[in-house]
Structure formats: C-alpha cells, structure tokens
Amino acid sequence: MNALVECSGLAAGYGGAPVIHDVSFAAGAGETVVVLGPNGGGKTTLFRALLGEIEPMAGRAQLRDRTAYVAQADRTSLDFPVSALDVALMGALAHGRWWLPPSRADRRSAAAALERVGLAAEAATRFGELSGGQRQRVLIARALVQDARILLLDEPLAGVDPASAEGIAALFGELSGDGRTLLVSSHDIESARRYERVLCMNRRQVAYGPPAETLTRAVLEQTYGSEIVVIDGSGDRVRALAVQHHDHEH
C-alpha cells in the first residue's frame, strides 16, 4: 500500500520530555482513521508533528500529499469579517498567486465546494453567525478548494448537535470515497466504530487497527485509564463512554 500518512517510531514534544512516543502507523488513500485518547494524551501533538509545526524528537512523521488542517474555531475567528465563501476561498491560497485577488476559477471552485457540503445558501453569511456544524462544513469546503488529499480534523464533532454530526459523518464517507485520507481525533468511542481504523493513544500508541480489534475492553482501559465508563461489558465487545475534561483556555 502506498501510505499517504506515515509515522514510524515517532516521539515529539515541546522541549523537555516527549509528549508522545512510539507512534507507528500508516494510512493509505481513501482510508479513514479515528484517533482516540484522553485529553492531554497527545492527539493534537501528533497532528502538529505531522504538519511539521514541531520537529520529531525521534522517528518520523510524514504527509505525502497536500494536507488540510481543520481545527476548532476560536473566539477571534468568530469576530473576523469573513463570509462562508471568503473562508472557502482561503483554500485557493494553496495554489495560485497569493498576492492577487482570487480568480474567477477560484470563486467557482469555492462555490462548488460550499454546494457539496450543503451550504450553498449560506455563502454570504458571516462565518461567526453560522452554527457549530455549519462552521465545520465550511472548513471542510476550504479543504476541498485546497484539493487536499489528506485531511487532519481535530475534534470536528465537539459541540455539534447530533443531527448535524450525522451529516458531517456522511460527508467524511464521501471524502474517503474521493480517495482522500482522513485522520479524525475524537472523544466519541461509539462512533469510532464507523471508521476503518482506530488509533488509540495515551502519550504512546496503545493500538492501531480495525475497530473490532481495537475497541476492546483491554485496549480502551489502557487508553483511557480511569476516564472511561463502561456501559455494557459483555465479553470483548464493550460499549463505553469516555469522561471528558474540558480545557478552560480561551
């Protein structure tokens, strides 16, 4: 398999002891991977190392194609005077001449991307006025305009109502059908079953593989420690919820 995303023996941190270590996995075109783990377990650090924002302390982290990073919208971006279309158009920076205004082709591409994520009607709406789910979809539209083959999504469904979350999950399926690779970090153990692969991390890689092999009691307990609530623990197939601690950094 030609891996588009690959880590081998990766260790990374911010100076001092590594936050994550012994991470080794690979994902090819069209594969969807969910990254599970407790807060502070290193999910964001992994993404940063993949994006090249921090240097690996050991091993390698590689992205072999155009990548889009979709993170949580913070307060400043909600105040910024941009419409949904403007945000989607930012994807065009990845190709073309950044010092000129966007071309007509770029605009068509952005409009088409918004259409594809179901937000054609909201193109002129200010980004900060959209709902959480709509904002995520706009950022995905930006990734489409970028024509990213790899998407790293940092907890895209947090704070999104269940109905919208369904729509976004369906969108993920479509993107993977395009042949794009998705890495999605998440707190939701149940919905992790829909992905092709699960990467369980708690500062180190606990497991990587199909949901049937990784969403087992043993693996989940190793990953979440005491932060897990088991609902139905018959045999190896558990149903569980992860207890979330909210960061209060704004």
Output the smallest distance, CB 216 to other proteins, in A: 27
Distance, CA of 61 to CA of 52 (rounded, Å): 8
The whole-angstrom separation of Cα 109 and Cα 93 is 12
Residues 35, 184: contact at Cβ < 8 Å? Answer: yes
CA distance readout (Å), 65 to 2, 41, 145, 195, 233? 11, 26, 15, 21, 41
Question: Smallest distance from the beta carbon of 144 to other proteins, in angstroms?
Answer: 13
What number of helices (H) and strands (E) belong to the chain? 8, 11
Residues at the contact surface with other proteins, assessed by CB under 8 A: 51-53, 67-73, 75-83, 86-87, 90-91, 93-95, 98-102, 126, 128-129, 132, 139, 142, 146, 148, 155, 158-159, 246-247
Report the residue number, 120 or 158, with the smaller CB distance to other proteins: 158
Which of residues 160 and 219 has its CB atom nearest to other proteins in the complex? 160
- Please, which residue, 77 or 216, has the CB nearer to other proteins? 77
Compute the least distance from the CB of residue 32 to other proteins, in Å: 19
Rounded least distance, CB 128 to other proteins, Å: 5
Report the 10 Å Cβ neighbour count for 107: 16
- Report the residue number, 68 or 113, with the smaller CB distance to other proteins: 68
